Amino acid sequence: MEFPQAHSQEPMMAKDQRSSPAHNVNVAPPPIPSSGYRIPLAENSAFPTDLRPLFFDADGVSPVFMGSAIFPDSVHPCKIVPALDPKCMVPYGGREHHHHGRYDLLPLDSNTMEFVRTSHGQIPHGRRPVEGGYEENGSKLYHGIATVNGVQVPGKTGLHLGGCNVSFAGGEHVIHENYDILCWKF
């Protein structure tokens, strides 16, 4: 299978795409999308400077964020490293791929989201994961965090993957046990 090429369509809802509730106090705000509010970015976009990272690269200094890379027929959870060019890295086909094109940054909201320990691609019982994308065949992908060489690395997980796939040091690493999946809080 060939690595998907970048695409400019916007299948995931971005922060600026949500509708604002009327200023009437009797109107409920719209529900949070299943993928969370996103910040749409591209290779030449200025990276937001007001976000606090939860992760750092192997150097211990470079911030790392999570997001989703947009392709013609799929959307893949990815890691985003503002110090790199391009900033978006995707685990795919055994390698770490530099993503050229559109990607969405997912700001983590500790009031509504939390990491939950899991293994073997499973969704923890009674939990609803934050949707991170989908494969070409429609299989859902979720945001995961796995540890490689002592470094926490954002990646993708799903029932069909049997673990958490992350891009690190040029390769795709598959962690089958004891990684975290990003879930909505109850």
Q: What is the pLDDT of residue 55?
A: 95
74 φ, ψ (degrees, to nearest 5): -160, 165
CA pair distance 135, 122, nearest whole angstrom: 17
Ranges of each domain in the chain: 33-42+53-184
Average pLDDT over every residue of 75-91: 95
Q: What is the pLDDT of residue 13?
A: 40
Instruction: Please name the amino acid found at residue 72.
Output: P
* Structure confidence by residue, pLDDT tens digits, 18-65: 344 444 456 666 677 777 789 999 988 999 999 999 899 999 999 999
What the block records as the tokens of 76 is: 């893949």
Q: What is the pLDDT of residue 3?
A: 47
Question: Which of 151, 149, 144 has the alpha carbon at shortest distance from 176?
Answer: 144
* Structure confidence by residue, pLDDT tens digits, 95-122: 999 999 999 999 999 999 999 999 999 9
Contact (CB, 8 A) for 185 and 112: yes
Tell me the pTM: 0.83
Question: Which of 50, 103, 46 has the alpha carbon at shortest distance from 80?
Answer: 103
